């Protein structure tokens, strides 16, 4: 907008309607640039005009129930004697349906690069003591606390209120309070860095569908261990990533610069083709966030310390401005489809019964809805009822496409469930298969890859060993070659979709690709099992 000085009533109403539409498009967020003409010419406004424009903007925001924060101000070198400014303003409101913006960020990086500590500092709001105090609250198992290594996938939340201030555990005690006072939530998926836990990390990246990935590199060790592999995984799954260089308090400026150069060199390689953008000021952080979501080739790099807190604010500014990848239209299209929920975790909770955690990939799921879950080992689907839904640890009536949540299933027998199943609406008639074909690229293999080879295949939340039955047009594959390959699952059929991204590994063999064809087993023959009582099946 150029300027919004004392608009007439009609113009004001028009501006408010426009703001409403923009907020709806951006799922509750919009950035206004004041002092810029529609064609992008930087004109700038004088102090008084700017003050009046901001006042009008504030009035507009109040009318739609939003808050505004000034992101940055710039002086424009124009030919006038009066200094002229342009201002960038973030308008944000809690959406009408109380669905706060939720971005999922997966955290990758080598072992001991400081992933859990960084998340601890961001979510707890206090700095680390240099001996791992900040990460203690993130660990889920005793052996993780003892060894200081993450081996499971844990979720941490960081909220931003509509004024753009951080909401974390430092001022609100519980997760429910954070959810209530935030209009934007960032869920960090803390993954394991150690090579031994690679399958857990791949599972976290494929099944939880993160919007972005944060690659943490320690300044004193540089690119080592699994860093390259994690970078490759993010690239293979087409997850836009940004890089955080941690522990800058431990080493000299020269060492930090060397690590930055090393990263820039790797990012500019032909395989990556990324444009590194080093973030040194709030200005850079805002630019980085806006550019990053528009063009996936830009990779922002932050240098920070979890102990001294240096540059930590830049990362917070970046996360605050970061817009969602999908607009509201795409999400609504997904919501029109039939319900499909991916099962990623299974728990038994006292007095609640069986609880499954995962992501709703399409449709809408309500409390009390009847769904079918499967496929079981013999390819059947079982009926069940969703008793209650929780999202970010607070109760929720309706779950929309693309959101992660936990569903309580009441007295359903836990032994019938496993990771990799799907819960779908009964009328969907899901396709399941044991044999499928995929177009793959072999990334690394010591010898040749041939028929009869066994690999672990990851497709979304499915993780199972499969045998290579046939390689079309060739008898063997070498590193870097492409082919269409037929795989057969060795244990039980799975629910797959054509076009789904696929990763496979076996020791060091890593390949990526996508599913091209399925040999479906029709569910009509299997029939739906009627559940009699808790966990009993009629035969």
Would you give the DSSP letter of residue 187?
A: E
Bridge partner residues of 276 (DSSP): 299
Helix (H) or strand (E) holding 502: strand 501-506
Beta carbons of 269 and 223 less than 8 angstroms apart: no
Tell me the pLDDT tens digit for each residue of 13-65: 999 999 888 888 887 888 898 888 888 888 888 888 889 999 999 999 988 88
Percent of the chain at pLDDT > 90 equals 37
User: Could you read off the pLDDT of 368-411 as tens digits, one per residue?
Assistant: 999 999 898 888 899 999 999 998 777 888 888 888 899 999 89
Contact 485, 511 (CB under 8 A): no
Write out the E strands in 142-246. 154-160, 166-167, 184-190, 212-218, 241-246
What is the structure's pLDDT at 94?
Answer: 66
Q: Which of 11, 92, 5 is nearest to 47 (CA)?
A: 5
Of the candidates 363, 347, 377, the one whose C-alpha atom is nearest the C-alpha of residue 464 is 377
Task: State how far the Cα of 282 lies from the Cα of 311, in Å rounded to an integer.
Answer: 9
Whole-angstrom distance, CA of residue 244 vs CA of residue 340: 35
Q: What local confidence, expressed as pLDDT, does residue 532 receive?
A: 35
Residue pointed to by tokens 């909770």: 349
Mean of the pLDDT values across residues 340-369?
91
How big is the chain by its Cα radius of gyration, in Å? 25
Tell me: pLDDT of 535 over 80: no
Helix (H, G, I), strand (E, B) or coil at 3: coil
Residue of higher predicted confidence among 97 and 354? 354
Task: Give dist(CA 321, CA 166) in Å, integer.
Answer: 12
CB atoms within 10 A of CB 536: 11
- Say whether pLDDT at 534 is over 50: no
How far is 262 from 534, CA to CA, in rounded Å? Answer: 58
Which residues have CB under 8 Å from 313's CB, separation 6+? 282
The answer to whether 523 and 430 have CB atoms below 8 angstroms apart is: yes
- Residue of 106, 108, 234, 229 lying closest to 501 (CA atoms): 234
Question: 37 — phi, psi (to 5°)?
Answer: -75, 165
Strand partners, 439: 484, 514
Which residues 6+ apart lie within 8 Å of 422 measured at CB? 340, 341, 342, 343, 373, 374, 430, 495
Angle of helix 282-294 versus helix 312-321 axis, rounded to 10: 40
Is the pLDDT at 261 greater than 70? The verdict is yes
Q: Which 3 state secondary structure label does DSSP give 440? A: strand
Confidence of residue 174 (pLDDT cuts 50, 70, 90): confident
| Token pair of 97 as six digits | 């349906």
What is the C-alpha to C-alpha distance for residues 458 and 463, in angstroms, rounded to an integer?
A: 5
C-alpha 148/C-alpha 132 separation (Å) is 8
Which class for 472: exposed (0-12), middle (13-18), buried (19 or more C-beta within 10 A)?
exposed
Q: What is the pLDDT of residue 448?
A: 80
Decide: 245 and 219 in contact? Cβ < 8 Å.
Answer: yes
Question: Is the pLDDT higher at 137 or at 280?
Answer: 280
pLDDT, one tens digit per residue, over 277-297 is 999 999 999 999 988 988 888
Is residue 457's pLDDT more than 90? yes
- pTM check: above 0.75: yes
Residue appearing with tokens 């690999």: 455
Task: For 415-452, give one letter per residue: b (16+ CB within 10 A) or e.
Answer: ebbebbbbbbbeebebbbbbbbbbbbebbebeeebeee
Query: Residue 46: what are its φ and ψ, rounded to 5°?
Result: -75, 170
Q: Give me the pLDDT at residue 522, please.
A: 67
Tens digits of residue pLDDT in 517-533: 999 886 544 444 443 33
The answer to whether residues 122 and 130 touch, using CB atoms and an 8 Å cutoff, is no
Domains plus CATH for the chain?
9-93 (3.30.110), 101-325 (3.40.50.300), 329-424 (2.40.30.10), 432-520 (2.40.30.10)
In whole angstroms, what is the distance from residue 242 CA to residue 231 CA? Answer: 10
Q: How confident is the model at residue 95 (pLDDT cuts 50, 70, 90)?
A: low
């Amino acid at each position: 907008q150029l300027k919004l000085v004392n608009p007439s009533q009609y113009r004001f109403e028009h501006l408010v309607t426009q703001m409403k539409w923009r907020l709806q498009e951006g799922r509750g967020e919009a950035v206004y640039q004041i002092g810029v003409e529609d064609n992008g010419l930087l004109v700038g406004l004088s102090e008084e005009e700017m003050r009046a424009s901001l006042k009008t903007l504030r009035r507009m925001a109040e009318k739609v129930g939003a808050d505004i924060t000034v992101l940055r101000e710039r002086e424009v070198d124009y030919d006038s004697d009066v200094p002229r400014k342009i201002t960038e303003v973030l308008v944000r409101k809690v959406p009408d349906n109380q669905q706060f913006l939720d971005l999922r960020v997966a955290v990758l990086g080598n072992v001991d690069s400081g992933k859990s500590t960084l998340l601890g500092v961001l979510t707890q709001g206090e700095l680390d003591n240099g001996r791992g105090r900040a990460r203690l609250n993130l660990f889920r198992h005793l052996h993780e606390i003892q060894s200081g290594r993450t081996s499971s996938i844990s979720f941490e939340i960081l909220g931003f209120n509509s004024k753009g201030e951080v909401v974390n555990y430092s001022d609100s005690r519980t997760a429910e309070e954070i959810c209530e006072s935030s209009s934007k939530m960032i869920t960090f998926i803390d993954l394991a860095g150690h090579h031994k836990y690679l399958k857990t990390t791949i599972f976290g990246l494929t099944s939880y569908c993160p919007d972005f990935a944060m690659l943490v590199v320690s300044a004193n060790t540089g690119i080592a261990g699994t860093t390259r592999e994690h970078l490759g995984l993010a690239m293979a799954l087409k997850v836009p990533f940004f890089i955080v260089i941690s522990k800058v308090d431990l080493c000299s400026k020269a060492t930090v610069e060397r690590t930055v150069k090393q990263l820039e060199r790797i990012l500019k390689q032909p395989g990556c083709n990324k444009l590194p953008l080093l973030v040194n000021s709030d200005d850079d952080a805002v630019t980085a966030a806006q550019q990053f979501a528009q063009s996936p080739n830009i990779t922002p790099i932050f240098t920070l310390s979890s102990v001294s807190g240096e540059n930590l604010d830049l990362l917070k500014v970046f996360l605050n401005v970061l817009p969602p990848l999908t607009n509201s239209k795409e999400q609504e299209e997904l919501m029109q489809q039939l319900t499909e929920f991916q099962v990623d975790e299974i728990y038994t909770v006292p007095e609640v019964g069986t609880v499954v955690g995962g992501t709703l990939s399409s449709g809408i799921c309500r409390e009390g809805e009847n769904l079918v879950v499967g496929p079981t080992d013999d390819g059947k689907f079982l009926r069940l009822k969703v008793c209650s839904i929780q999202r970010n640890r607070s109760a929720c009536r309706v779950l929309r496409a693309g959101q992660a949540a936990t569903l309580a299933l009441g007295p359903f027998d836990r032994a019938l469930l496993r990771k990799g199943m799907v819960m779908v609406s009964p009328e969907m008639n899901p396709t399941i298969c044991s044999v499928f074909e995929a177009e793959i690229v072999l990334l690394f293999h010591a010898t040749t890859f041939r028929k009869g080879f066994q690999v672990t295949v990851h497709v979304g939340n499915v993780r199972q060993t499969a045998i290579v039955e046939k390689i079309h047009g060739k008898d063997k594959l070498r590193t870097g070659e492409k082919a269409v390959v037929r795989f057969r699952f060795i244990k039980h059929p799975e629910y797959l979709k054509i076009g789904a991204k696929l990763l496979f590994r076996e020791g060091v063999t890593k390949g990526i690709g996508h599913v091209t064809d399925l040999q479906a087993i029709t569910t009509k023959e299997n029939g739906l099992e009627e559940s009699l009582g808790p966990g009993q099946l009629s035969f």
